[in-house]
Structure 1
Amino acid sequence: METAKHVLELSEKELENVSRVIVNPHECHVESSFYEIFAIRGIRVDRVQPGLISCTFKVPPRLTDRTGNLAVGAIANLIDMLGSVLAYEVGKPVNVTVDLSILYLSNAKLDDELELTARLVGKIGVVSGTSIIITKKASGEIVAEGRNSMFTRLKSKI
């Protein structure tokens, strides 16, 4: 337990940096949100076709952990976001992730260029499944592989 506490504790510098983060209220469709600026800025969409999205992404400093690797939370966020975008249908309610499974297979370092490929595995009624693979562009080494199950809320009949 003490080891876990030690790993999760922030240094004085990290505490200071976090205290300087300013998050203003977001006006939808007027300006970018904190999420868009922080988490998904820099993703370049290379190809979109039914059931497939292919993107590239250069690992930025804001998404690395203490060791200089792409943070596992950032990887989970990318997998969840790509799966949700792929399963989204115009005019339908937003998808909600109900299951997210990720295999972390190798590290990605600062400035590594990554390829993100998301495929729609299937859709049955209001449930969609996607598979997302993140690889290093230079070597083809798999960084992570994820599966995402999403539920689309039905519109109320009331």
Structure 2
Amino acid sequence: MENAKKSVELTEDELEAFSRLILPEPQTGECIYNHFAITGIRVDRVEPGFVACTLKVPPRLTDRAGNLANGAIANLVDLVGASVHFRGLPMNVSVDISISYLSKAKLGDELEITSKSLGQRGRYSGVSILVRNKATGEMIAEGRHSLFRSAASKL
């Protein structure tokens, strides 16, 4: 238990850096979590059932080793996967996300994130998300995202 506790404790340098951290004030109604998650994402192309984005890995999304954190990858898969929805229909909610982490992305790497609709049956749809290093073409992660669309309100 002590080893586990030590592995999550911050070092003196990390505590110092944390004490100097200034968080931006979220806009009215904005979630601070979403602010950090989507800042820096550039949408390059949108077509029916397809979205392509670019992100240069910022320090706020890296782990202690300077790699893009697995949680940040999961968040990108969720956000970009959910961005593929059908025009004129209510937004989808995530039901299931599955991610294969294939390699590492480093601080400053430029990533290409693509999301493609796999299809829809009733109110259930599936999306495939690929995260690649834009310079090398190396696959960083591959995700599958299942979404459910609620019924349109009759009000």
- What TM-score, normalized by structure 2, do the two folds share? 0.85
Q: Following the alignment from structure 1 to structure 2, what is the Cα–Cα distance between the partners of residues 109 and 42?
A: 16
The answer to whether the 8 Å contact 2:26/2:32 transfers is: no
2:113 corresponding residue in structure 1: 116
Are 2:8 and 1:8 aligned?
A: yes
**Distance of 2:80 and 2:108 partners within structure 1:** 20
User: How far, CA to CA, are the matches of 2:11 and 2:88 in structure 1?
Assistant: 44
Cα-to-partner distance string for 1:93-142 (whole Å, 9 max, x where unaligned) = x3221111000010000000111111001111111110000011111110
1:95 correspondence with 2:92: yes
Identity of aligned residues (%): 54
Distance 1:54 1:126 in 2: 24
**Which one of the candidate residues 131, 135, 146 is aligned to 2:143?**
146
Q: Is the 8 A contact 1:87 1:130 kept in 2?
A: no
Q: Does the aligned pair in 2 maintain the 1:88–1:95 contact within 8 Å?
A: no
Change (3 A) 1:33 1:139: same
C-alpha contact 1:102 1:144 (8 A) present in aligned 2: yes
Over aligned residue pairs, what C-alpha RMSD do you find? 2.4
Give the whole-Å Cα distance in 1 for the aligned partners of 2:54 and 2:88. 24
Which amino acid letter does the alignment assign opposite residue 11 of structure 2? S
Q: Which amino acid aligns with 2:95?
A: V
Unaligned runs of 5+ in 2: none
Matches within 5 A, 1:5-154: 5-15=5-15, 17-18=17-18, 20-22=21-23, 24=25, 26-28=27-29, 33-87=31-85, 89-92=87-90, 94-154=91-151
Gapped runs of 5+ residues in structure 1? none
C-alpha displacement of 1:4 = 3.5
Amino acid at match of 1:103: S
Which deviations, in whole Å up to 9, do the C-alpha atoms of 1:31-83 show, x marking residues without a partner? Answer: x6523431111111111111111111100111110000001110000000011
Amino acid at match of 2:79: M
**Structure 2 letter corresponding to 1:142:** M
Structure 1 stretch 117-126 or stretch 12-21: which is displaced more? 12-21
The number of aligned residues is: 154
SS in 2 for 1:87: coil
User: So what's the TM-score if we normalise by structure 1?
Assistant: 0.84
